[in-house]
Amino acid sequence: MYPTLRKSYKDVLPFNIGTTSFIYPDDYVPNVKMLGPYLDEIELLLFESQGTDALPSRAIISELCRLAGEFDLSYNVHLPTDISISDRDSAQQQRAAETMIRVMELVRPLEPSSLILHVPYGEKSYDQQIVENWRDRVYQNLVKIKSAAGK
């Protein structure tokens, strides 16, 4: 399989020690099985949202829940980066917001400590009006996502 870590860092320091879900060249579950005994938290990298196998299945989420209990482990989730709620195209914004909501619902059973969302600034100018338009797009979509999350 893969080499194991030499020492567990679980509950050693006054803060959590974590890593990302793809340290080993494998899928989520094998990585959690290898890393879970040694760390407090694993960040699940869900960078891709498009395609049939881009996101973990509900069965994988269930197994990750089981492993969290077995290893006394928490997760945080990095939301997809292949789409953006700041896109200038309103249809793309809508698709991105709906995807973020769908991913949040998918990972809810994991009770993630946080959800990480990067919002790129893809504009070519920093003109005040362009920046304000970008900020408004981001804010409006964050409100949609927050509302759907029940927060």
- Which of the four pLDDT bands, split at 50, 70 and 90, describes residue 151? low
- For the domain spanning 18-149, the CATH number is 3.20.20.150
Residue ranges of the domains in the chain?
A: 18-149
Report the percentage of the chain scoring pLDDT > 90. 87
Spatial separation of the C-alpha atoms in residues 10 and 15, rounded to whole Å: 10
pTM for the structure as a whole: 0.91
Mean pLDDT of 30-35: 97
What confidence tens digit (pLDDT) does each residue in 116-143 have?
999 999 999 999 999 999 999 999 999 9
| Cα torsion through 81, 83, 115, 7, rounded to 10 | -20
